[in-house]
Each structure stands twice: as structure tokens, then as C-alpha cells.
Structure 1
């Protein structure tokens, strides 16, 4: 049951993300991101952890871009790599009980923060965050209807 919910969330996230991109001209942080965020809407500290890691990743990418040419695939790969490392570090810090909210203030996955950071760079923070928030809530609402509240 859990596996089918995750598959449905990612699939719906892709569809809604494509609709947002085509109809509104705004990306929701990457094509698979809304589905994953929708699965964690009941864990706001993990969403906050993901946004913090994404912002740190974005800052590091902007700093690196002052010294080198970063665009296209290079920026995307570097965003994912830096996001992966910072997401992994957030899990280590939580594992050692350094944070106040043990086990909750960590990033969602390893790739998601890098994808979000890449879209922060491409279309800006507010446009990405608002599109992501609306898309994730829509995915979650549809999942609640389809699975009759069994999330």
C-alpha cells in the first residue's frame, strides 16, 4: 500500500509540475519534487530542513559561480552534488542529536534539495517556493481523495 501511494504521489507530482510549467510558466522546484514534498506535509520540520539545505546549496552555487562559469548541465550537476552532500550532512547532525528537533530537521531525500536550489537560481526563491507549496498541497489533496485519507 505504501509503495503504491509513493508511486501515485510522484506520478501526480510530475503531472501537476508539468501543468504548472505549461500553464503558469513556473516550475515547482523540479518535476518530481512536488510529489515527494506532498508525502511529507505532515512533517513540517523535514520540509523546513529541506528548504534550509536548498538555500545553503543555492548560496554555495552562487559563491562558486563568482569564480567559474556555471550554467546549464554544470550548474544542475553541481547543485545536485552540493545538495546531496549537505543533505547527507543534515542526516549526520540529526543522527548525533545536535539539533533541537531530533530526527525531524533533516532534508527529504538526497537529490531534492539540489533540484530545488537549481530552480531557486533559475526562477528565484519566491516563485519556486510558492509554486512548490501549491503543487505539493494539490498532490496531497488528490492523494487523500484517491486513497480515502489513508496516507
Structure 2
């Protein structure tokens, strides 16, 4: 069921992207967000890591050349480093952890490329549509009986 949700998320993301010319923060990100709807703190933590990685990448861009693949690689690595630093420091007691290992970096890339409002708006719409499709198919999405079970 896990892979089915991710594949359905990719299909819905592609359709949305073709119809609106907006990327829903990457093709796989909405599927992973739907998988974590039962844990809103996890989604919020992933968004926080994406924003922190984007800010750190902007600072790094002042002292080194970051564009294209370099920028994307920097965002992925920075999201890992920031998550590791937060977990190691114990700043956030009961740290919920990021959604997936690459989702924050992919999300940060789309925030940079497309803008915050457009990216988060598109992500919200596609996540909502995907959630409704899963509910219509009989998959529980919210609550303690989330799609992980």
C-alpha cells in the first residue's frame, strides 16, 4: 500500500503540474506528506528543516557558487546536517523526525525555484486531492489508524 500511495501521488502531481504549470514541491513530496497526515508535527518539522536548509543555502551562496545540481545537492546535504544537529543537540524534545530522508531537500529546492507561496499552495492542493482519493478508495488517512498501519 505504501508504494501505491507514492505512485498515485506521482500521477496526481504530474497531472496537477501539467494542468497548472506549478510543481507541487516535487513529484514524490505530496505522497510522503499524505503518508504523514496522522502526524502533523512530523510535517511541520519537515517544513522547518526545508526552510532552514534554504536559508543556510542562501548564506552559503554568498561565499561559493551554488546553482543547478550544486544547489540541489547542497540543499539535500544541508537538510541532513540540520536534522542531525537538531537531533544531536536535543533542542527539540520528542523530535518527530523528518518525512523521508530526501523530502526536506526536495521541498527546499522547489521553494527556491518556484517561490514559497506557489510551492506550498500547490503542495497543499495536491496533498488534499490525494487524501480525498485515498479516502474514496477506502484507505484511512487521518488519525491513529493512518496509512502506516
Q: Deviations over 1:59-102 (max 9, x none)?
A: 01111112222111111111111112223334445xx5x425x2
Query: Hey, what does 1:82 align to over in structure 2?
Result: 78
Structure 1's 142 and 90: CA in aligned 2 closer, same or farther, altered over 3 A? farther
How far does residue 148 in structure 1 lie from its aligned partner after superposition?
4.4
Query: Hey, what does 1:139 align to over in structure 2?
Result: 130
Structure 1's 79 and 147: CA in aligned 2 closer, same or farther, altered over 3 A? same
- The answer (yes or no) to whether the contact 2:6–2:28 under 8 Å persists in 1 is yes
Alignment of 1:2-151 (within 5 A): 4=1, 6-92=2-88, 96=90, 98-100=91-93, 102-104=94-96, 106-149=97-140, 151=147
Q: Which runs of 5+ in 1 are unaligned?
A: none
How far does residue 107 in structure 1 lie from its aligned partner after superposition?
1.7
- The answer (yes or no) to whether the contact 1:87–1:109 under 8 Å persists in 2 is no
In the comparison of the two structures, how many residue pairs are matched?
Answer: 142
Equivalent-residue separation in structure 2 for 1:107 and 1:148 (angstroms): 23
Equivalent-residue separation in structure 2 for 1:87 and 1:139 (angstroms): 27
Equivalent-residue separation in structure 2 for 1:136 and 1:92 (angstroms): 31
How far does residue 22 in structure 1 lie from its aligned partner after superposition?
1.4
TM-score (norm 2): 0.85
- The answer (yes or no) to whether the contact 1:8–1:143 under 8 Å persists in 2 is no
Q: Which runs of 5+ in 2 are unaligned?
A: none
Structure 1's 148 and 60: CA in aligned 2 closer, same or farther, altered over 3 A? closer
Q: Deviations over 1:38-78 (max 9, x none)?
A: 11112111111011000000001111112222111111111
**More helix, by proportion:** 1
Equivalent-residue separation in structure 2 for 1:110 and 1:45 (angstroms): 16
